[in-house]
Amino acid sequence: MFRHRFGILLTALLFLLVAAPAVSYVGAEAYPRLTQILVMVLFVSVLLSAAFAGSESRVTRIIALSLAGPTIIAQVALPFADGNSLLITSRLLNILFLGTIIAIVLRFVFESRQITSNTIWAALCVYLMAGVLGALAYLLIGSLSPNAFLSASPELGIGPGASADQQLTSALYYSFVTMSTLGYGDIVPTTPPVRMLAALQAVFGQLYIAVLVARLVGLHIVHSTENRNGTRNEGHS
């Protein structure tokens, strides 16, 4: 099961990105508390999968679990608590935890000597986790500065006019359309720091794909060359 840890994380990330907006859209008005809990469960599944994926060695396991514990506790308590302090604390912990896991998985990707399914899954997980990390950063900014974003529909935006699950799904949407440089313009950053953060995320998205493809192609060429040389040596012997 540990060999497929990145596949598990990738599945959890895709399930969050697909199911969370659907759950929020269907049940936000009729069952707001239940919807918030379901979205929370989807997000916690990503956190648990990320902690499992980051447990590559004893050191990374200790780091991942020590950060995952308080992060998950704060996330679980969020639907049952009122006030902005826990919300800000939870988002800070989420950013710290996911940022650490991204660094661990990214190190695995660029230290790999062969292209395997785990390498590809890990690379995809880094990209998707970067999108989730960006969403959490935008949510944190929205909590601290309610006027940081202007949206076409306030109740479906990142600001305080939307519920917690709607804010999450809107932030995920905005983060991924920014990172992929689609930029539909229905959610717009209004302050210079947020605009620069969005620009940096767009640059990261393009550079990551370019560097990743170059890395994977390089590994494939090296591996193919080694295989051909090994076959020739066996033939001569």
Q: Which sign does the torsion angle of CA 106, 18, 157, 46 carry?
A: negative
Q: Please check whether residue 53 is in contact with residue 101, taking contact to mean a CB–CB distance below 8 angstroms.
A: yes
Tokens of 8: 């598990």
Mean pLDDT of the chain: 86
The string of pLDDT tens digits covering residues 25-49 is: 887 667 777 888 888 899 999 999 9
pLDDT-based confidence at residue 73 (cuts at 50, 70, 90): very high
| pLDDT at residue number 35 | 84
Average pLDDT score over residue span 61-77: 92
Owning domain of residue 120:
2-208
Number of domains in the chain: 1
Asked whether residue 149 is assigned to any structural domain, the reply reads: yes
Asked whether residue 6 is assigned to any structural domain, the reply reads: yes
Q: Please check whether residue 71 is in contact with residue 63, taking contact to mean a CB–CB distance below 8 angstroms.
A: no
Asked whether residue 224 is assigned to any structural domain, the reply reads: no
Asked whether residue 79 is assigned to any structural domain, the reply reads: yes
Among 105, 106, 76, 75, CA closest to 89:
75
| pLDDT at residue number 234 | 55
Asked whether residue 82 is assigned to any structural domain, the reply reads: yes
Residue 120 has pLDDT above 70, yes or no: yes
Q: Please check whether residue 95 is in contact with residue 133, taking contact to mean a CB–CB distance below 8 angstroms.
A: yes
Asked whether residue 219 is assigned to any structural domain, the reply reads: no
Asked whether residue 72 is assigned to any structural domain, the reply reads: yes
Measure the CA–CA gap between 110 and 24, rounded to whole angstroms: 36
Asked whether residue 235 is assigned to any structural domain, the reply reads: no
| pLDDT at residue number 138 | 94
CB atoms within 10 A of CB 66: 13
The string of pLDDT tens digits covering residues 190-234 is: 999 899 999 999 999 999 999 888 887 777 777 667 666 665 555
